[in-house]
Each structure stands twice: as C-alpha cells, then as structure tokens.
C-alpha cells in the first residue's frame, strides 16, 4: 500500500462550498467577534491578506472601504484577516488614513473589522495558508458566506495579484439573484442580462419546450436590474409609478 495513504495528516480540513463556515472567536480592530454567530442573517465577505503595511493589500483595503456602502446595501459585511497582531492592524489602518492616497481615494478610514490571527489557527482552519508559497502568511483568499453561515463561494489569488473588488460584488449579486429568483446566471452575467431558468425535468416538459425552440436545455428569461435590486435589498421601486403623459 502506498505509504502516503498511511500518513495521517495533522492539517485541518478547509470548508467547502455548501458546508457550514467553521466557528471561531477572535479579536479584531472593532472588538471581539464570535463567527459566524454574530453575523447570522447577514452575508459576509471573509477575506485574508498576506500582511499589514504591504502595497497590494493596502490598495485592496482602500477599494473595499470605498465600496462598503454598496456591500451594506446588499446586507453584506466585510471581514479581513491576516497573521498580524491587533496592534499592527491598528497602526496600519492609521497609516492608511493619514499617509496613503490611492487613485482618487485619500484619508480613507477602514471601518470593517480585521481579525488578529497571530497563531494562524483561523487561517489554517479556512485553508488560507498555502505552504508552497510560505507558511507564515496567508494568500488572498475570499469566502462568501450566506446568512445561514453556509460557504457559498471560495476564491484564491496569489500574493502578487490584487483582487477585483467589483467582480467580488458581481459574484455576490449573482448568488443573491440566484437565491431570490431560483435561476442561474450565464457567463459574463451582470444585472440586466438574461438569466437561465431550470431545465425541464420530465419528457413532457422537454417536448413542450422543443415545440417552441431547439435548445430545450438552455432557456433564458429577463429580470430587470430594478426588479433584482428590489428583491435582494427590499427597496421600494420608484419605477412602480405610472409614467407621466407627454404634453402635445
């Protein structure tokens, strides 16, 4: 028998899509949290960064903060993490506020919590440390966790490549749209594009669709961006009002 099969791995198994997010308690720049219990009923973007006072991470944090109102409108909280102390996190965000300008942003006050994980226990629990790239800091991992505490998506980026925060938001909106309307989203989807409806489940349903079109397994429907926004944010649509008649 292969000796590797006999080797008992001491590493913690990282969570997978569809599983409950592992629980932990931690100190953060906003105080102590118990995760995911403190965030029940909210979506969460839990993301790791390789280290404080690093250039790429600084640009990511400023961009996340610049979009925080957009995430909050989607009932979503941001949580950062690295294997740095709380004191280091606090010093770094003070430096970002007073000393850093990135693109058009300056005087940026980082308001979302950053987890202090000096032992690396949380990072290893979530598979954020990849030993081949170094065993003392985290890669750029992103976990999208839903209001029930279930992992819905996992993204990994290398240390040298900054994340596209707009794409992370697009992914979040796609997940929320899929849940709200029981649909799937095609490649390159953004709100306003057609969505995919579930495929037929019986021969009779297949025949009915085939009578209407050839591509019976790929069916689309349109959901307006306004309808999506209304559903996933519980906002009242102003477009419900009847349009005023034009004067002749």
Dist CA 108 CA 39 (whole Å): 25
Same domain, 123 and 78: yes
Domain of 88, CATH number, reads 3.40.30.10
Per the model's pLDDT, the better-predicted residue between 135 and 7 turns out to be: 135
Q: Is residue 6 in some structural domain?
A: no
In a domain, 5, yes or no: no
Question: Which residues contact residue 235 at a Cβ distance below 8 angstroms, ignoring those fewer than 6 apart?
Answer: 229
Q: What confidence score (pLDDT) does residue 106 get?
A: 94
Lowest mean pLDDT among 49-58, 150-159, 217-226: 217-226
Confidence of residue 235 (pLDDT cuts 50, 70, 90): low
In a domain, 8, yes or no: no
Residue 5: what pLDDT?
44
Q: What is the mean pLDDT of residues 152-179?
A: 96
Active-site pick, 21, 26, 46, 57 = 57
pLDDT of res. 6: 39
Q: Do residues 147 and 91 share a domain?
A: yes
Residue scoring higher pLDDT (161 or 237): 161
Domain boundary among 163, 187, 220: 163
Same domain, 157 and 85: yes
Q: How many domains does the chain have?
A: 2
For residue 133, what pLDDT is reported? 81
The yes-or-no verdict on residue 25 having pLDDT over 60 is yes
Annotated active-site residue 9? The verdict is no
pLDDT of residue 239: 37
If DSSP codes are grouped into helix, strand and coil, which group holds residue 152?
strand
Whether residue 246 is contained in a domain is answered as no
Give the pLDDT confidence of 125-139 residue by residue, as tens digits.
999 999 888 767 899
Q: Are residues 110 and 227 in the same domain?
A: no
Q: Clarify whether residues 98 and 220 are in a common domain.
A: no
Considering the domain boundaries, does residue 234 fall inside one?
Answer: yes
The DSSP annotation for 132-143 comes to GG-SSS--EEEE
Q: Give the start-end residues of each E strand in the chain.
A: 24-28, 31-35, 43-48, 76-82, 101-102, 105-106, 114-116, 140-145, 151-157, 195-197, 219-221
d(CA 14, CA 20) in angstroms, rounded, equals 11
What is the reported pLDDT for 245? 42
Domain identity same for 146 and 197? no
Instruction: Give the pLDDT score at 213.
Output: 63
> Do 39 and 134 reside in the same domain of the chain?
yes
243 pLDDT more than 60: no
Please identify, among 108, 135, 163, the residue that sits at the C-terminal boundary of a domain: 163
66-114 pLDDT tens trace: 999 999 999 999 999 999 999 999 999 999 999 999 999 999 999 999 9
In a shared domain, residues 20 and 124: yes
pLDDT of residue 131: 82
The more confident residue out of 206 and 163 is 163
Pair 155, 195 in one domain: no
Q: pLDDT tens for residues 188-216?
A: 999 999 999 987 767 776 666 665 665 76
Q: Which domain holds residue 23?
A: 16-163
DSSP string, 23-77: PEEEEETTEEEEETGGGTTSEEEEEE-S-TT-HHHHHHHHHHHHTHHHHHHTTEE
Note the pTM of the prediction, 2 decimals.
Answer: 0.86
* 24 and 147 part of one domain: yes
- Tokens matching residue 90: 């606090």
Of 118, 139, 163, which residue constitutes the final position of a domain? 163
When the pLDDT of each residue in the chain is averaged and rounded to a whole number, the result is 88
Claim to verify: residue 102 and residue 224 sit in the same structural domain: no
């Amino acid at each position: 028998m292969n000796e590797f099969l006999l080797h008992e791995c001491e590493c913690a198994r990282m969570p997978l899509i569809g599983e409950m997010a592992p629980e932990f308690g931690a100190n953060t720049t906003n105080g102590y949290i118990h995760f995911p219990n403190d965030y029940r009923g909210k979506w969460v973007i839990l993301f790791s960064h390789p280290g404080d006072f690093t250039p790429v991470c600084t640009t990511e944090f400023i961009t996340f903060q610049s979009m925080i109102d957009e995430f909050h409108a989607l009932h979503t909280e941001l949580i950062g993490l690295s294997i740095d102390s709380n004191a280091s996190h606090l010093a770094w965000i003070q430096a970002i506020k007073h000393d850093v300008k990135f693109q058009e942003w300056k005087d940026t006050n980082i308001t979302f919590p950053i987890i202090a994980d000096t032992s690396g226990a949380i990072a290893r629990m979530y598979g954020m440390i990849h030993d081949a790239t170094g065993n003392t800091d985290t890669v750029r991992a992103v976990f999208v966790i839903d209001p029930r505490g279930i992992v819905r998506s996992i993204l990994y980026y290398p240390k040298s490549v900054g994340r596209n925060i707009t794409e992370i938001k697009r992914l979040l909106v796609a997940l929320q749209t899929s849940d709200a309307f029981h649909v799937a989203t095609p490649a390159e989807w953004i709100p306003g594009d057609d969505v995919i409806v579930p495929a037929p489940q019986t021969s009779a349903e297949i025949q009915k669709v085939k009578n209407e079109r050839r591509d019976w397994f790929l069916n689309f429907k349109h959901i307006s961006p306004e309808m999506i926004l209304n559903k996933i944010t519980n906002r009242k649509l102003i477009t419900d009002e009847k349009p005023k008649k034009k004067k002749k």
